[in-house]
Amino acid sequence: MNQSHSMNSSERQAVRKANEERTVKFPDGTQVPAIGQGTWRMGERPGEKEKEVKALQLGLELGMTLLDTAEMYGEGGAEEVTGEAIRGIRDQVFLVSKVYPHHAGRKSLRKACENSLQRLGTDYLDLYLLHWRGNIPLQETVDGMEELRKEGKIARWGVSNFDTDEMKELWACDGGSRCATNQVLYHLGSRGIEYDLLPWMRKEGIPLMAYCPIAQGGLLRQELTTHPTVQSIADAHDVSPIQLILAWSIRNGDVIAIPKAVQQNHVLDNAKAASIRLSEKQLAQLDQAFPPPDRKVGLDIV
């Protein structure tokens, strides 16, 4: 297993290059790194802020230049951490934030977006997501998002935690198919979306954003990382099981994974996962260990 958590500058450059080359395309042609950085649980403890900012900056330096945050995380605290991490380099970052469902009405959406922009210290988002489906009619949210887009406050918009039927409902809205992505839970131990959501999104030509791509902590992660198939393939690549799981999530070129890491060694490991390519045989072995669904499974959420 790879135990090296420090890197010299030429190694850093190589990792950055691997992240720059491993990209995913949005429908408008914009390319983003397949591995970005999450920020949930950041901005909750003032004493941790400096460490969190440094972690994001290290990830940016290594080419993980897509940052995913939300007004919900730390009630704005994570956006402040993110804003500090990108100060002076805003144009080098693809910035994603999310609106609470109860703020997704026409007027409240504008206010929520402006508040996010202020906390982030920027005047535009690259992508603004409806965090999950709430009670506000989808058409109203689409209209609000389109207004923000036309004004340049957001470059594009999308949704999160939408299952296939909800995506179809969205597509039936006027302007609904301008949605650029759907961010859902996806990792080797949770493959339900492969049955119909992921194929549907592929058909419509929009990339998926995978949250919890390394299965957070807990029992499920332990089950994944201690599985003999995962361990032997990780060993064959001289990487950790977590790095392998992360590389698996971006294997097809149309999924953006957003692992969250505060520990510097975790950031380095995640960035290095961009250069791991799994063979057909290894993918088949992983399919056997953690089979894809053969029927409709409800969306997993956290």
Active-site residue set: 73
Give the angle subtended at the CA of 233 by the CAs of 231 and 237, to the nearest 5°. 110
At its nearest, how many Å lie between ligand NAP and the CB of residue 151? 24
Beta bridge partners of 187: 190
Please report whether residue 38 would count as binding ligand NAP according to CB under 6 A: yes
Does residue 182 touch ligand NAP according to CB under 6 A?
A: no
Does residue 192 belong to the site contacting ligand NAP (CB under 6 A)?
Answer: no
Site for ligand NAP in 59-118 (CB under 6 A): 68
Going from the C-alpha of 292 to that of each of 166, 187, 192, 223, 297, the distances in angstroms are 22, 11, 7, 17, 11
Q: Which of 259, 274, 286, 290 binds ligand NAP (CB under 6 A)?
A: 259
Q: Which of residues 118-147 bind ligand NAP (CB under 6 A)?
A: 131
Q: Which residues are CB-contacts of 264 (< 8 A; sequence separation ≥ 6)? A: 5, 54, 55, 58
- Pick 97 or 122: Cβ nearer ligand NAP: 97
Site membership for ligand NAP, residue 183 (CB under 6 A):
yes
Q: Which residue is nearest to ligand NAP (CB)?
A: 38
Residue number with CB closer to ligand NAP (42 or 152): 42
Structure tokens, 291 = 């089979």
Stretch that binds ligand NAP, among 4-12, 114-122, 170-178, 205-213 (CB under 6 A): 205-213
Q: What's the full length of the chain, in residues?
A: 302
CA distance 300 to 279: 27
**262: contact with ligand NAP by CB under 6 A:** yes
Residue 109, C-beta contacts closer than 8 angstroms, at least 6 positions apart: 99, 103, 141, 144, 145, 148
We find the least distance from the C-beta atom of residue 269 to ligand NAP, in angstroms, to be: 4
In three-state form (DSSP H/G/I as H, E/B as E, the rest C), the secondary structure along 215-230 is: CCCHHHHHHHHCCHHH
Token pair in block for residue 93:
């970052």
Count of residues engaged in binding ligand NAP, rule: CB under 6 A: 26
Q: Choose which of 97, 122, 161, 164 interacts with ligand NAP (CB under 6 A).
A: 161
Residue ranges that bind ligand NAP, judged by CB under 6 A = 38-40, 68, 131, 160-161, 183, 211-217, 242, 258-263, 266, 269-270, 302
